[in-house]
Structure 1
């Protein structure tokens, strides 16, 4: 177990002493008053006697849970954003959620954008693909294609006659 814990409040982040506290005890931050739980550090020995066995056919629930660093709510293992405070469990940042009523009180919903000076917009740039001509007309290209086709057929016929 570590002798110190960092305050989970993102605005505070004070170091709290955990001397004399056991794993699982709650400690309160002296600066902001946020409560946090004393956790075991990686590599501490596991005490199997601390597991409670259910009586008479009870079921043990899956222990994969996580705690929101902003508000302390218990979340599922796959939750990334806390539903109660909007805090991101991965980064520790909190999102400020303003309800519709709060927006109305603050006048955020009733405001319409003020017309400002008209700024001329740039004309859209039209990009076209340029085809470079080789100087041959379409008729010449067709004749060349037919000539190649006839040459291939003649070569194939000659090859067949030579094999027989």
Structure 2
């Protein structure tokens, strides 16, 4: 059994060690940084990464509706394939279609239409419009709309049209 003197010495030794450690940390000097601290960007300050447009495969019934608009023009042309891209600015879907030109000496063209209907819906329910000066007004009977526009220099929806074999 420890004696009172042994217990007192142990407590005294612990007290000395604790005060020595406290003294060291209180008097310790931190090294000076050699380079300025890097600024940390918060999520709110970081610029948003550009979102790559995502193509949407159109339903068979929308492809049929586009084809009907082209066939109704009476030129013997058909729509072979199509794809859609949401225009975030206007809220309209821009639908591109590969038009097979009846004249074998001519190159096929791509028309661009617009709709507010769901391009993936089966059956497709919605009205289809031609948009500004692209091939759609020349090759289809779709009514023209001015509620959405397409920059003829930037037509990303054309990349949404699947390749046609042949």
Normalised to the residue count of structure 1, the TM-score between the two structures is: 0.21
Which structure: greater strand fraction?
Answer: 2
More helix by share: 2
Greater relative contact order, per chain length (Cα 8 Å cut-off, separation 6+): 2
* TM-score where L is the length of structure 2: 0.21
